[in-house]
Amino acid sequence: MSERTSGREAAPDASGTAPCPPARGWAGRGRWPSAVTVVPAALALAVGLWDLDGPPLWRDEAATVSAAVRTLPQLAHLLRSVDAVHGLYYALMHVVVGVFGTAEVALRLPSVLAGALAAAGTGALGRALGLPRAGLYGGTLLALMPIFSRYVQEARPYPMTTAAAVGVTLLLLRVLRSPTPAALAGYAVALTALAYLNLFAFLVAGAHGVVVVLSRGRFARWACATAAASVAVAPLAWLGSGQGAQVSWIRRPEAADVGRLAVQMFGDLGATTPPRWPGLAPTAPLGVPALTALGVAPPAWALTLLGLALGLVSAIRAARAASGAVAGGAEWRGAGGSRGYAALVRVTLPWLLVPATVLLAASWAAHPVYVFRYVLCCVPAAALLAGAGLAALPTGVAVAALAAWIGLSVPGQLATRGPDGRQDDPRPVLALLASTARPGDGVMFVPAKVRKYVTVYPSVFGRLSDVALAWSPERDGSFAGREVGPRLLAARLAGLRTLWVVGHTGKAGLTGRRLDVVTRAFVPAGRWTSRGLYAERYEARDDTRTQRSNGAGVGK
């Protein structure tokens, strides 16, 4: 069903760009403008609060806790050496922690609220483009996306970045319609705030430049506002460039990552685990085997294909509107009715494609910097594009497609709240330490930044002696702290009965001189592994303990 519009088009303003007309038809009903934003926000809030404290805090969230509990001078000391790009977020979380504490719900609630704002803003974008129904559908799809829930339910800055990207895009539309000094200043300030939440999100400005060109807006005025924001962001970029070790772990993307990007942009987790529905593969339609080869489960690829199909419907409507305008010799830069689809596609496609393309190209040509969460702020564009596709369909078909979307998203929603929903599941290792480790036992962390968990779980690690620690992370201005050398470590190990080594799986364990120091005084007595984390127990060398520990717990 097409959007209902009035018979009169809005007159172009001085820039030559027709502003969006007042919403009419459904949009003109008293309750519709609020429904466009309130319904997506309420859905996003409900989905975000669902089992919010279920997934345990993982290593990145532990970094948030470690930073947020510090005093402001200690936080500034940290940001001079690491994670400067997250400084604004850590400062905000410092206030949250100071008021509400470090419980999982308290830490994650700001992200949930940001997710609700992003969904509401997506609805508002559709309405601003003259397609309120597309905004309602788009905001709803965003709220129900498993990939959106995955990041909304963690104490990291990416949901706030997504909400900020939506807000900046709304301000861009205001600039296109009326490039007044106030509008340009507001846009520049918002763009600066976006970059301080996530430096890579500043690439959205590049997408906006494409939108301005396609819309034949006042490019020079937009460029001046963007240049002012760039100057404000330059100190952060300079400081962040000196902390390149923070992204040294990122691997160069492969072709499969591009396919997985499409899956993630249209809502699913893009899991890399083998699919668990092998019976469906032989009868899969064209295109599905390629997605299955990426390790994407059938509900995920079905959700992707549905999203792509809806986006294609939007593109077709936009192309028809453009060709009709050209044939009639009319401008088609405005919004409302069929022309609203052209405006919507001009806004969403650059937003969807430019940041990810730039990061992928930089990763292949120079240094790997692409990680999906860095382009999470582009997901509302995919949601709005798919929402416009739903709005272009007859009501019955649109309802059926929306129901299919909801059904296909359920496995992803359950997965993100399950034991494999995060990179780490530290609960089994923590339960082991809580029940088995004795007060005064030694503990070492491999690598040292695993020490972040001490702040998150003080009841577990506070009973243990951190034998390798020389300077605390707060004093050192780091997450890892500074550790002692082998001689002092050997002296600290003397007299200990039990030593625990806690580390990240997939990383090298104790090596070199530290391993020699430990094995001279201790023998292995067990190893326990959970998702992302492991614990090793060493017992002091003496005849009794050596006999008792032979094989005890090893490999468990």
pLDDT of residue 27: 39
Residue pair 250/369 in contact (Cβ under 8 Å)? The answer is yes
Angle at Cα 220 formed by Cα 216 and Cα 225, nearest 5°? 115
pLDDT of residue 1: 42
The pTM of the full predicted model, rounded to 2 decimals, is: 0.87
pLDDT of residue 528: 93
Q: What is the Cα–Cα distance from 531 to 211, expressed in whole angstroms?
A: 43
Residue 198: name the closest of 14, 421, 355, 37 by CA: 355
Which CA distances in Å does 410 have to 9, 384, 385, 417? 42, 20, 21, 11
pLDDT of residue 2: 41
Q: What is the Cα–Cα distance from 146 to 148, expressed in whole angstroms?
A: 5
Residue pair 236/199 in contact (Cβ under 8 Å)? The answer is yes
Residue pair 109/80 in contact (Cβ under 8 Å)? The answer is no
pLDDT of residue 17: 43
- Preceding omega of 447 cis (within 30 degrees of 0): yes
Residue 512: name the closest of 475, 555, 483 by CA: 483
Contacts of 33 (CB under 8 A, 6+ apart): 23, 27, 127, 132
pLDDT of residue 298: 66
Over residues 278-292, the pLDDT tens digits come to: 333 333 333 444 444
Which CA distances in Å does 71 have to 252, 475, 477, 556? 37, 11, 12, 40
pLDDT of residue 33: 55
pLDDT of residue 83: 94
For 523, list phi and psi in degrees, rounded to 5.
Answer: -120, 145
Q: What count of other Cβ atoms lies within 10 Å of the Cβ of residue 288?
A: 18
Q: What is the Cα–Cα distance from 428 to 280, expressed in whole angstroms?
A: 34
| Buried residues in 467-505 as b, exposed as e (16+ CB within 10 A) | bbbeeebbebbbbbbebbeeeebbebbeebebbbbbbbe
pLDDT of residue 146: 93
Reading the block at residue 337, the tokens are: 């009715």
Instruction: List residues bridging with 444 in a β-sheet.
Output: 501
Q: What is the Cα–Cα distance from 530 to 528, expressed in whole angstroms?
A: 7
Q: What count of other Cβ atoms lies within 10 Å of the Cβ of residue 234?
A: 11
Burial of 335 (0-12, 13-18, 19+ CB in 10 A): buried
Instruction: List residues bridging with 471 in a β-sheet.
Output: 482
The residues of the chain scoring below 70 in pLDDT are: 1-33, 271-298, 322-338, 543-556
Strands 522-530 and 533-540: antiparallel
Reading the block at residue 83, the tokens are: 């994670």
Q: What is the Cα–Cα distance from 247 to 447, expressed in whole angstroms?
A: 16
The letter for the amino acid at 428 is P
pLDDT of residue 271: 58
Q: What is the Cα–Cα distance from 52 to 152, expressed in whole angstroms?
A: 9
Which CA distances in Å does 340 have to 62, 167, 326? 44, 19, 15
